[in-house]
Structure formats: structure tokens, C-alpha cells
Amino acid sequence: MAKALTVFAVDIGPHMHMDIGLVAEALRTYFLSKVVNKARDECALLYFGANETRNAVHEEMAAQGSFDDYLHIVEEHPLKPPDQAYLEGLEPGQMPRGQGRSDFIDAVSVAADILNKAVELRPELEKANVTKEIVLISSLQERVKEAEVHEFVAALVESLKEHNVQLQTVLVDIEKQGDDAAREYNREILSELAEEIRHKDIIVQTPAELLGVFKCKEYSNTAYYAGPFTLGPNMNIRVKVAKKAKKEMLPSTKLYSDRSRASDATHEVQREHEYKDASDPDTIVPPEERQKSYKYGKQFVPVSADEEAFLAYKPERGIHLMGFMPAESIPQYQFLKDPWVMVPEKNNEKSGTALAALVRALHNKQSVALILFLPRVSEKTGGNPAVCAGTPVLGNGAGPDHLVLNHLPFAEDLRVAKFTSFEAKADLLPSEQQVQCMSDLVQSLDLQSDTKELLAADTTRNPTIHRFYNHAACQAGGREYPLPEPQEDVLVRETFLPDGRVVSGSQALLDSLPELLPIVYKETAPGMADLKDEEGGELSAAAFTLEGAAAPAVSAVGTSDPISDFNAMVKQDNLDAAFRSMPDAIVTLVQNSMGNRNYQKALHALEAMREAAVQHGRGASFNSTLEDLRGKFESATQHQSFWQLLMDQQVTLVSTEEDPGTEVSAAEADNFLKQHASKGQVVDEEPAAMAVDEEADEFADME
């Protein structure tokens, strides 16, 4: 089975101190992702430029009487599958900063030695499907010792080649400092080293680039289809097709319940489905009384297993040329779904030549191939046909010339709609000056400077996934690290917010826009509800965790048994905290409620609070809570029926009759119920029916 061995040689010397926090973050997310996604892969971690010296090569040399070699290199973790210890040493602030001096060639030698020894010890690692790699992370500012360096590098290259070791260098170039000459010299030596082995060089110039240097998950590139690509009835090219891109999701998590406090609790949660008769919701219909059906218009058509087979589309699998089209006739916005890549069969000279000739011809003619794509057909469920545009991509030596395949819409996928021509909006057309201003902006707000393209898809990491791994990696040691606010999260900021350096050049243009192209901002325009700022209170309420109840001394009201918590606190005479945290608990209960499951609990909690409020003269506190709840739920899209429930249950304000401390008369309290109860019932049948439609529609296009 394929497997990867990676030795990290990480510079922690004085020149790296500024960026060590970023390096630690990149490494801990990498190691965690290895455990989660590639549990068999092994990693070693070497620090160089460290204060101390602790590595096998030094020890061997010392045993031979030479004590001054391979100094300040520390083997932090030997080659093995990474575990908790790797992450703990890389938690924020934990990664060491060294004052030692050691050059990167020495570090790479020690790294190579680790790989060599591993292969000697476990010959099965010699196999070609075991990837061996050294990753060097350094700013390359510590000048390499010059004595016999070329001979040394040559010997190192030989040793790396022997075991087919790849080298990846991450050159940290964020702060320009130190000795340029030394860096230049080091780069020369580095290219001498890398030249003859498989290597990849990455230069990182921004913190975001450093954080995103490793992918969150590596995929092995397996062929989804291997077989002929037919060009007419008489010619085949043998090809393989693999995924080129697929939206990477957040890592998967498992449901967890802390309901049971037993020491041997599994904490597992299962999702169970019940099929109920629509007219009689109390009857559960057993499997043998369930009939599978498909919707056809308004009808549900019962379909037996035999008929089901007949529904499936079962052509022969294969990939066929349908014709060619000028590239500009298929704009990219017509592409659907994930792209694929079509490469020639490995080591097949004829197919390789044929596909390369075709790709170059398409490239020269600025054309794309129209391809019928039916890679797999299952005996039972049939195949999922697609028509794809095959765009030619030249390999340029790094790979074969190939086609990228993008799904195109079928007739059924198109929704034709007509939009008014801009020319028809004579009174809304911009003036020349207005267009000029936008033109200048389009030019100056430039993401492609002379040197590099900013936010290029091929190199921009997904900040959300990185954030997830980083957060989880930080918690591995059991210490709590608060999640950084989004605007303090480097990757989030540099990816999703405008880059100050880009914007600064366009500031004057941006400032002139409101005057030159005035726009009336109607805050409460209908239909813009989704743009309105949600009530600010939500987050603080959400931050209220459900763990409170487990704590022995009750210091806040939890959600698992709010009434007991509340009463306990009242008993402890901790009235302030009790009345402060109860509303939070109620809101949390309601907001986390699936459907109406928590409503009764929240209602009872609120009633208990009201009772205590009357007893302890805290009516005002209750009244403001009730008003808050009204603000949150009375006309909310979710949990509106909770408010209804309160009104149905006649939960009203505490009046002066009950607690003289309030400023609400008995009549006002009565009125409160009338006023808000009636308002809630305005919801008539019609919109409710619509809402169901919307729901159905929302799910309609899910596969």
C-alpha cells in the first residue's frame, strides 16, 4: 500500500524567530491532517539552529572522536506516525527558538540519514510506492560552511538518489533581513543539491502563503476510468481519467452525546428514521408495508424492484469524441460540477503520441473537444451520462499533454430567462466619465502585479478548513486555546478581506465612487431581510455552553436542568448570577431546539424564573427578559412558535400588583398578552402553504 515518509528539517535559528509561530501553525495542522487522513504515513521532525545538539549523525561522529560536526541539530521526533506529542510541541508558543548556528546542508544530511536508516531497518520501505521526502523550511540566511561544500553536496545527492528521495524546500522570505550575499550563496548551493533529484521549491512571501504551504488533505490520484477514448468508429486512444478538482469539505466529525455519565459510556449517537402514516402520525409503518415510489408530476408512481431496473439508463460505458468546437463558443460560465483530467495510459507510447498530437492541434486551433463521458455504468443503477468540453492543456515537460474535462449543461439543466438589455435602460446608462472611473478602478485594483498573481486558485488555501485543523491541533494537548477572531486569523484576513497594499493605490478612486455613482442605500428594503444585521446578542448567547450543569458548584444556569440550577443559585443567595444567566439558558435552549423539542423545558424555566422574580422582587429583571425574548422570537423566521407558546400559556409581564418594584400596571400586563398574542396569529393558511413549497423546492435539487 502506498505510504509516505517525510522528514522535516526546520530552521529555528535567529533569522527565523519572527515567523516561528506561523511555521508551528503550518506544521501542527499538517501533522494532525496526517493522523486523520493518512494514518500510516510517517514523519520525523528535525530542528536546526537549535541551542542544543541531539542527533544520530553527530553522535556517530563523536564516537569517532570528531565532536564539532552536525552541531545545533535536534531530532525532535523520530520517523514514526505522528501523534499527540508532535502537536503538543507545536502548540502556540511551544516551538523552541534557537540561538545555534547550523547550516541547511548539514540538516538535510541528518534528514537523509534518518531515511537511510529507516530503509535499512525495514526493507519494505524500499518499494517505489513508498514516497520518501525531505521538507526543508528555512530562510536560508545562515551561510553554508564553504570547505569542501561541492564534494559534500555531490555525495549527499548520490545518497538521496539512491533511495529516490524527493526534496521540497519552503523558502521563507517574509521579512527581508540579514545578509543577502549569504542567502544568494545558499540558494546556489541549494540548486546544486536539488538539480538532480525530484524537487519542488516554494518561496513564501506572505504569512498566508506560509500557513497554506501544505494541503489540508492529499489525495492519491487514482483513475476513475481507464480505457479507450474513441475518435469515430475506427480509432481509439487508451486514456485514464482522474478527478482534477473537488470541493474539499470540512473534516468529518461524529455525533457525540454526553447524556450518559457512566465511565464506560460510548457516547455514540445514531440517527434513526421512522416512517409514519401522514394521516395518522402515531402509526409507525413497518418496512414490509413500505412501497418505494417516484414522483411523476403530482403523482407518486409505485415502482417494484423489477421496474426499478427498467428505470435505469444503461448504455455501454466509454468515452467518445462527439466533435470539436471553437473554444470561445463554450464560455467557462457554462461549466458544471467537478472537472476531470484525461491523460494517456502510462508507458503507452502510441496512445501518448496520439493524445499529445490531438491536444496540440486543439491548442493551435483554439478549439475544444466535445466529449461524451460515461466512465462507469453500474449493472443495477445504470450510468450517469455527461457531455464535457475537453480543453487542451500542454504538459510542458512536467506531465503529458492532456485534456481537462468540464461537464456542460443538458437541455434540462438550462433555465431560460430574459433580462432587459442595458441599452433599453436609457435613463440608467452611465456617462463616459462614470465608465472611465470604473475603468480606472478595474485597472488599479490589480491582483496581478508584475511578479505574481494574488489569490490564484492553485495556491490559495481554504482558510476555513485550515482554521478547523488548527483549532483542533491546538486542543490536542488538553489545553484551551481560544479560537482567534476571524479578523485576527491570518489566512482568513489575507484571503477574504481586501489587501491593504492593493487597495491603497486605488483609494482616491474608491473615495470618489459615492459621489460619482451615487447609490441610495435603503436599509429596510423588502426582500433584503437576509442582509440585515442579526441582533448582536446572538453570539454571546451562543457562547453559553451546555457544560455548566456538570460543574459541581453551580455558578451559572445550564441547559440540561435549568430549573434546578436556578433554584440552587437562588438558594445560595446568588440572585444576581441566577437572574443573569437564566435568560441565556432559555435563549440557548430555544435556539438549539430542533423543532419544538426544547420549548416546554424553556417555558418551564421561564415560569420558574417568573415565580422567583415575584418572590424576590426581581420583576423588572423578568420583564426585560420577556421583552428580549419577544424581540428575538416574535417575528423571527425560526422559533416563532416558541413565542406563540408563551402567549398561549399566558406568560406575561410582572405587574406592580405582584412586585411593586416594576413599572407595569396590571392592565398593561394583560394588554401585553392581547397585543402580542393576536399579532402572532396573523400568520394565515396561505403563506404557510407557500413556506412548505419553498422547503420542498430547496431540497429539490439535491442529489
Partner 1 sequence: MAELEYNAEGIDGEEDGQEREWLPSRDNVVFLIDAQAAMFEEAGLKDTPGFAESDRWFDVAVKVAKEFIKSHIISSDNDRIGVVFYGATETGNQNNFDHVYTVVTLDEPSAQSIRDLENMMGDDFEDKVGSAAEGSPDHLRNGLWAASQLINTGSSRANKRLLIFTRDENPAGTGPKAESYRERIAARAQPLHEANVTVEIFPLTRPGDTFSMTFWNHIIHAGNDEESGVLYEEGSDTMYRLQSLPGFTRQKAYRKRASGRARFLFPGGYKMAVSMYSLVQPATKSSPVFLNALNNEPLKVESAFIDQDTGAVLTEVPKRIFPKFSDPNLYKRIPPIILTSEELRSIRITQDPGLSLLGFKPASCLKPWHTWRQSNFVYPDERTMPGSTTAFIALHEAMLSQERVAICTYVRSRNAEPRLVALMAAQEVKDEYGEQLSPPGMHMLHLCFADDIRTPEVDKNLVGEFFPEPSAGQVREAEKLVEKLTMEDSYVGMYENPLLQRHYQVLEALALAETPPDVEDSLKPDHEWMLSTANDELESFRNSVYGANHNEPGIGKKSASTPKKRPAPEDDPALKDALAQHDYKALAASGKLGKLKVDDLKPYLRAHGLKVTGKKDELIERITEHIDSQP
Q: Taking CB under 8 A as the criterion, which residues in 134-163 touch partner 1?
A: none
Among the residue ranges 6-14, 54-62, 92-100, 411-419, the one whose residues contact partner 1 (CB under 8 A): 411-419
Give min distance, CB of 163 to partner 1, in A: 16
* Pairwise CA distance, residues 533 & 510, whole Å: 24
- Which of residues 155, 250, 551, 666 is near partner 1 by CB under 8 A? 250
Q: Which is nearer to partner 1, 246 or 571 (CB)?
A: 246
- 68: Cα separation from own chain's centroid: 47
One symbol per residue from 614 to 643: x for binding partner 1 (CB under 8 A), - otherwise; what is it?
------------------------xxxx--
Strands 165-172 and 130-138: parallel
Q: Which is nearer to partner 1, 194 or 654 (CB)?
A: 194
Contact between 556 and partner 1 per CB under 8 A = no
User: Binders of partner 1 among 223-242, rule CB under 8 A?
Assistant: 223, 227-228, 230-238, 240, 242
Contact between 691 and partner 1 per CB under 8 A = yes
Please give the single-letter amino acid code of residue 485.
Answer: E
User: Binders of partner 1 among 437-466, rule CB under 8 A?
Assistant: 437-439, 441-443, 445-448, 453-465
* Inter-CA distances, 67 with 19, 63, 71, 329, 614, Å: 31, 8, 8, 70, 82
- Which of residues 168, 559, 625, 662 is near partner 1 by CB under 8 A? 559
Q: Which is nearer to partner 1, 70 or 86 (CB)?
A: 86
Closest CA to 460 of 253, 248, 251, 219: 248
> What contacts 695, CB < 8 A, 6 or more positions away?
none
One symbol per residue from 597 to 616: x for binding partner 1 (CB under 8 A), - otherwise; what is it?
xx--x---------------
User: Binders of partner 1 among 108-137, rule CB under 8 A?
Assistant: 129
Q: Which is nearer to partner 1, 666 or 683 (CB)?
A: 683
Contact between 430 and partner 1 per CB under 8 A = yes
Among the residue ranges 98-106, 247-255, 573-581, 654-662, the one whose residues contact partner 1 (CB under 8 A): 247-255
Q: Taking CA 32 as the corner, what is the angle to CA 101 and CA 21, rounded to the nearest 5 degrees?
A: 40
3-state secondary structure of 534: coil
User: What are the residues facing 136 on neighbouring strands?
Assistant: 9, 169
Contact between 252 and partner 1 per CB under 8 A = yes
Give min distance, CB of 617 to partner 1, in A: 33
> What contacts 496, CB < 8 A, 6 or more positions away?
463, 486
Contact between 256 and partner 1 per CB under 8 A = yes
Contact between 699 and partner 1 per CB under 8 A = yes
Q: Which is nearer to partner 1, 49 or 390 (CB)?
A: 390
One symbol per residue from 382 to 401: x for binding partner 1 (CB under 8 A), - otherwise; what is it?
xxxx-x-x-x-x-x-xxxxx
* Pairwise CA distance, residues 13 & 491, whole Å: 25
Give the helix ranges, DSSP H, for 38-148: 56-63, 84-88, 104-121
- 341: Cα separation from own chain's centroid: 24
* Inter-CA distances, 369 with 254, 395, 641, Å: 43, 17, 56
Give the helix ranges, DSSP H, for 38-134: 56-63, 84-88, 104-121
- Which of residues 163, 217, 604, 676 is near partner 1 by CB under 8 A? 217
Contact between 364 and partner 1 per CB under 8 A = yes
* Pairwise CA distance, residues 110 & 73, whole Å: 8
Contact between 660 and partner 1 per CB under 8 A = no
Q: Which is nearer to partner 1, 103 or 133 (CB)?
A: 133
* Pairwise CA distance, residues 47 & 12, whole Å: 6
What's the grid cell of residue 433?
466619465
User: Binders of partner 1 among 8-47, rule CB under 8 A?
Assistant: 32, 35-36, 39
* Pairwise CA distance, residues 367 & 373, whole Å: 18
Contact between 525 and partner 1 per CB under 8 A = yes
Closest CA to 79 of 151, 7, 129: 7
Among the residue ranges 16-24, 146-154, 498-506, 668-676, the one whose residues contact partner 1 (CB under 8 A): 498-506
Closest CA to 108 of 136, 72, 82: 136
Q: Which is nearer to partner 1, 155 or 245 (CB)?
A: 245
